[in-house]
């Protein structure tokens, strides 16, 4: 099924490469929530924000892991990137899920991630 235009997370809006992820993990500021570790690295020279996610297996199955990745990606696309663009922030945001995230609801993940973004900016 082809998604309607504007409904995808563009490649340019993602932190994808291993080196980019390591840089955000090493230099970014970490904020912990009950289900997430959120790393934020401000990049003043970048005009658009980017988001990435790390979803370790943590002993869970493929279906649960992919479901969690889809939820984090959708929250990032709909809420986080929109909020950062509206504020004119150029930053890399990396979301690393914790074990408890596998039992969390979409709403809980969304509230935790947005609270970090709103607290930061």
Residue 65 sits in which domain range? 31-120
Residue 24 within any structural domain of the chain? no
Residue 15 within any structural domain of the chain? no
Alpha carbons 83 and 71: distance in angstroms, whole number: 17
Average pLDDT for residues 26-34, to the nearest whole number? 97
Q: Are 54 and 16 in contact (CB under 8 A)?
A: no
Q: Which of 8-12, 48-52, 69-73, 74-78 is least confident?
A: 8-12
Q: 62-110: per-residue pLDDT in tens?
A: 999 999 999 999 999 999 999 999 999 999 999 999 999 999 999 999 9
Total domain count for the chain? Answer: 1
Residue 45 within any structural domain of the chain? yes
Residue 12 within any structural domain of the chain? no
pLDDT at 33 exceeding the cut of 60: yes
Per-residue pLDDT, 102: 97
Per-residue pLDDT, 120: 83
Per-residue pLDDT, 2: 44
Q: Is 86 exposed, middle or buried (0-12, 13-18, 19+ CB in 10 A)?
A: exposed
Residue 38 within any structural domain of the chain? yes
For residue 80, the domain's CATH number is 3.30.230.10
pTM: 0.89
Residue 53 within any structural domain of the chain? yes
Residue with token string 């082809």: 2
């Amino acid at each position: 099924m082809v998604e309607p235009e504007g409904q995808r997370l563009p490649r340019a809006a993602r932190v994808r490469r291993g080196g980019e992820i390591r840089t955000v993990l090493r230099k970014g500021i970490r904020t912990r929530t009950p289900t997430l570790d959120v790393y934020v690295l401000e990049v003043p020279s970048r005009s658009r924000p980017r988001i990435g996610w790390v979803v370790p297996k943590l002993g869970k199955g493929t279906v649960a892991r992919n479901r969690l990745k889809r939820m984090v990606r959708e929250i990032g696309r709909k809420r986080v990137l929109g909020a950062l663009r509206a504020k004119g922030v150029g930053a890399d945001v990396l979301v690393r899920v914790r074990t408890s995230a596998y039992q969390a609801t979409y709403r809980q993940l969304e509230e935790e991630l947005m609270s970090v973004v709103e607290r930061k900016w």
